[in-house]
Chains A and B, each alone.
Chain A
């Protein structure tokens, strides 16, 4: 985990997370230069490295400022950009009334340096709009909390997503931001940049297992698949819930809905990192698709009361992890179902022998 490699200063944020495996390296590059974005690069070399040209990166045309060495080792690369936050309220007539959108590329971001935790592998990108005429952000902020993982496992706090060592988690947090309406709801726009020949698919899986995320049965995943052999290359995975508390409990759950995935034919807001890596081809050679995630159920009251919203999503390479039944559930069911069966067998035997004994006692009468 490296902060602003090769640059002295913390006015801009760039975080490089490197996961080295046997014969391959995964690079996660997080940056708030422009809209907050994450660059995911998988390489087939154990010693591939990220190279940056800072003067170029901070210039108006950053093309080619970020690259991986050796370039031939790059197997796959993609980017996730968090572009906008919408705020809207639903009127009685079921019309959606939109307030002016918060464009995340216009935010000013605090330095990540102070929030870096090298043992827990976390960092926080926290920002407020550069101009905030309504004063909504006077007591609040918007943040992306990034967590990298060294080993596979499961998060402690809800939604307790299962993760592998190859994945990272980002948590979208809206804290203390004043809503501009009585029943305001928020939605986050997430855009993905993919290489040619890769298609994004949104999958919603309903699982019977809600043990780790109580009462949430729906798991959504956005998987980038190679069009040749539909093998999964990267994924975003999240549970259909957000939480309205810093220490999330079941009752803080805020409904989270995903709208359909759309091919974005609009130009991506200037996210320097993406342009710096992919160059001019973004939007043409490299396809962009976007999805809106909205928070809040029929009445958007939970946020109004708590003024807090956090939504977690897992990013990673390959196949998204799958939940399985916990050993506890399996053992309870096995004992609960097994005992009556065993008793039935034992009981039958006892009765059988008791009867034979009784008959045999009468036999000698002969």
Chain B
């Protein structure tokens, strides 16, 4: 579930363009004088009350998929015990989620813009998520692990594209107004979904166990079915949102939202060295964070002797921290610029936290809080960098490509991590993750020097950027 920062950043960049474009800032509540208000506030698409309703629907649209994405992590012990699978097979559940997205990242935008439209697209993706989760749960009930893999695959087809659809909706309803805030809220909601999942699934499992009186595949399946209710809830949100969007279209004569992504795979050969380095940073960094969280719960139980609840809590701290800190760091990076330095800080902090987890018995809360901070900072500093090194018309391709290889990296590393854990244990796993972060660090250092030597603008402070932008504008005017 990593597309959000990317899609958000892409849309943010788009919004920036909109703001800087000739039209300038759009008038607030465009066309409010044209039609006399006869509808109550909550039903009037121009009024704040209605937009808040739409906003909450948008936020809950992604809740189900974020909730269910980390179901395996929350139930690792139960999954491994009931389905009798080793850790490598367990981690394949995450890999199967990532595989379809290696390809789909390029087509999500295309499907929404050209094939389905945003409304139908969102509903279809939500249905994929629901069906995927149901098959996942059925696989558990029928005690067939491969069916669970199939479920995760279908779930993955829907999940990532749904995030793109969610962002497209946000741009279409809030462009030029509260867009950054809306993105922030959506991101926070996603994190809340993951956090709630981490902390509640174990409890649901034990209740189901009490109800059935035994543990086994059917207990697991029933628990996952109950988790799937959140997907149904999100599907309902998608349906209501489609209705409201359609209605707003009629009332306000507004166009159906589009991602505006143009993907041309031939652009890949024009990518600069800097962009490739950014890709490396991205892949290696996320590979050391998400698979780690996938295996985290049992790690804290086995190495640090945490209780199940405590382990769930600490495993979700990364998400909890990133919910409030993402907007803060976003603002900070925007104000100060110097993106590479921030990325460097984030990577070094992550490295420190992995080394702490590997080589010490220090209270893991310290390391996990550091990881949470670093993760939030990286997302805010890394993704916008792409916009600086790629011409505008290639932005869609660059983001699509970045997501694609990120998913590829996640899928491979997830399986590798499972295999390493089974044969070599946690110390080696943490050393492996540290090595991944180090690779990412090497890429950051290289990026710094490449940028320095080629006179790139990645590491300028915000002030300098502004000055140069002004200079460029005046030059144009002349």
Inter-chain contacts of B431 with A (CB < 8 A) = 329, 332-333, 336
A284 contacts the other chain (CB 8 A): no
Contact with A along B384-428 (1 / 0, CB 8 A): 000000000000000000000000000000000000011111111
Given contacts A208-B359, A208-B360, A347-B449, contact A215 B428 (CB under 8 A): no
**Which chain A residue has the least Cβ–Cβ distance from B445?**
A343
Inter-chain contacts of B360 with A (CB < 8 A) = 208
B252 contacts the other chain (CB 8 A): no
A217 contacts the other chain (CB 8 A): yes
Q: Are the CB atoms of A336 and B421 closer together than 8 Å?
A: no
Q: Are the CB atoms of B358 and A208 closer together than 8 Å?
A: yes
Inter-chain contacts of A328 with B (CB < 8 A) = 428
Nearest CB on B from A143, distance (A): 26
**Which chain B residue has the least Cβ–Cβ distance from A210?**
B425
Which of B62-70, B132-140, B221-229, B435-443 lies on the face that meets chain A?
B435-443
Task: Report the count of interface residues on A (CB-CB < 8 A).
Answer: 30
**Which chain B residue has the least Cβ–Cβ distance from A348?**
B449
Q: Are the CB atoms of A344 and B453 closer together than 8 Å?
A: no
Which residues of A217-269 have CB atoms within 8 Å of chain B's CB atoms? 217, 249-251
Inter-chain contacts of B16 with A (CB < 8 A) = none
Inter-chain contacts of B215 with A (CB < 8 A) = 299
Nearest CB on A from B104, distance (A): 32
Nearest CB on A from B353, distance (A): 15
Q: Are the CB atoms of A210 and B449 closer together than 8 Å?
A: no
A333 to B425, CA, bound (A): 16
Instruction: Specify which of A212, A251, A339 lies most central, judged by the most chain B CB atoms within 10 Å of its CB.
Output: A251
Nearest CB on A from B219, distance (A): 13
A165 contacts the other chain (CB 8 A): no
Nearest CB on B from A324, distance (A): 12
B86 contacts the other chain (CB 8 A): yes
**Which chain A residue has the least Cβ–Cβ distance from B434?**
A336
B254 contacts the other chain (CB 8 A): no
A211 contacts the other chain (CB 8 A): yes
Inter-chain contacts of A336 with B (CB < 8 A) = 431, 434-435, 438-439
- Residue in contact with A217 in the complex, picked from B84, B302, B435, B439, CB distance below 8 Å: B302
**Which chain A residue has the least Cβ–Cβ distance from B357?**
A208
Given contacts A336-B434, A336-B438, A340-B442, contact A208 B86 (CB under 8 A): no
Q: Are the CB atoms of B441 and A340 closer together than 8 Å?
A: yes
Nearest CB on A from B372, distance (A): 22
Instruction: Specify which of A217, A340, A343 lies most central, judged by the most chain B CB atoms within 10 Å of its CB.
Output: A340
Which residues of B330-383 have CB atoms within 8 Å of chain A's CB atoms? 358-361
Q: Are the CB atoms of A347 and B448 closer together than 8 Å?
A: yes
A209 contacts the other chain (CB 8 A): yes
B207 contacts the other chain (CB 8 A): no
**Which chain A residue has the least Cβ–Cβ distance from B348?**
A340
Inter-chain contacts of A210 with B (CB < 8 A) = 303, 425-427
Q: Are the CB atoms of B427 and A329 closer together than 8 Å?
A: yes
A210 to B423, CA, bound (A): 10
**Which chain A residue has the least Cβ–Cβ distance from B449?**
A347
Chain B interface main SS type: helix
Nearest CB on A from B296, distance (A): 13
Q: Are the CB atoms of A332 and B445 closer together than 8 Å?
A: no
Given contacts A213-B425, A250-B422, contact A337 B302 (CB under 8 A): no
B446 contacts the other chain (CB 8 A): yes
Q: Are the CB atoms of A249 and B86 closer together than 8 Å?
A: yes
A332 to B438, CA, bound (A): 10
A351 contacts the other chain (CB 8 A): yes
Inter-chain contacts of B442 with A (CB < 8 A) = 339-340, 343
Q: Are the CB atoms of A329 and B453 closer together than 8 Å?
A: no
Given contacts A343-B446, A344-B445, contact A351 B453 (CB under 8 A): yes
Inter-chain contacts of B439 with A (CB < 8 A) = 336
A179 to B404, CA, bound (A): 52
A214 contacts the other chain (CB 8 A): yes
Q: Are the CB atoms of B441 and A250 closer together than 8 Å?
A: no
Nearest CB on B from A220, distance (A): 15
A75 contacts the other chain (CB 8 A): no
Contact with B along A332-354 (1 / 0, CB 8 A): 11011101100110010011001
A350 to B445, CA, bound (A): 13
A211 to B449, CA, bound (A): 37
A249 to B419, CA, bound (A): 12
Inter-chain contacts of B197 with A (CB < 8 A) = none
Contact with A along B438-478 (1 / 0, CB 8 A): 11011001101100110000000000000000000000000
A129 to B438, CA, bound (A): 58
A206 contacts the other chain (CB 8 A): yes
Which residues of B303-332 have CB atoms within 8 Å of chain A's CB atoms? 303
Q: Are the CB atoms of A217 and B449 closer together than 8 Å?
A: no
B166 contacts the other chain (CB 8 A): no
B259 contacts the other chain (CB 8 A): no
Contact with B along A90-120 (1 / 0, CB 8 A): 0000000000000000000000000000000
Nearest CB on A from B300, distance (A): 12
Q: Are the CB atoms of B87 and A250 closer together than 8 Å?
A: yes
Inter-chain contacts of A214 with B (CB < 8 A) = 421-426
**Which chain B residue has the least Cβ–Cβ distance from A328?**
B428
Given contacts A251-B80, A351-B452, contact A339 B438 (CB under 8 A): yes
Nearest CB on A from B209, distance (A): 10
Which residues of B150-185 have CB atoms within 8 Å of chain A's CB atoms? none
A217 to B439, CA, bound (A): 28
A333 to B435, CA, bound (A): 7
**Which chain B residue has the least Cβ–Cβ distance from A218?**
B305
A108 to B80, CA, bound (A): 39
Inter-chain contacts of A351 with B (CB < 8 A) = 449, 452-453
A209 to B359, CA, bound (A): 8
A217 to B360, CA, bound (A): 12
Inter-chain contacts of A354 with B (CB < 8 A) = 453
Inter-chain contacts of B298 with A (CB < 8 A) = 215
Q: Are the CB atoms of A215 and B435 closer together than 8 Å?
A: no
Inter-chain contacts of B453 with A (CB < 8 A) = 350-351, 354
Instruction: Specify which of B85, B422, B425 lies most central, judged by the most chain A CB atoms within 10 Å of its CB.
Output: B425
Inter-chain contacts of A332 with B (CB < 8 A) = 431-432, 435
Interfacial residues, chain A to chain B (CB-CB below 8 A): 206, 208-217, 249-251, 299, 328-329, 332-333, 335-337, 339-340, 343-344, 347, 350-351, 354
Return the 7 tightest CB-CB contacts between A and B, nearest first. A214-B425, A210-B425, A336-B438, A347-B449, A336-B435, A340-B441, A343-B445
19 A-B interface contacts by CB (under 8 A): A208-B361, A210-B426, A211-B424, A212-B425, A214-B426, A215-B302, A215-B425, A249-B86, A250-B87, A250-B422, A251-B85, A329-B431, A332-B435, A333-B431, A343-B442, A343-B446, A344-B445, A350-B449, A351-B449
Q: Assuming A215-B298, A340-B438, A343-B445, what are 5 further A-B pairs, CB within 8 angstroms?
A: A217-B303, A251-B80, A251-B84, A251-B86, A332-B431
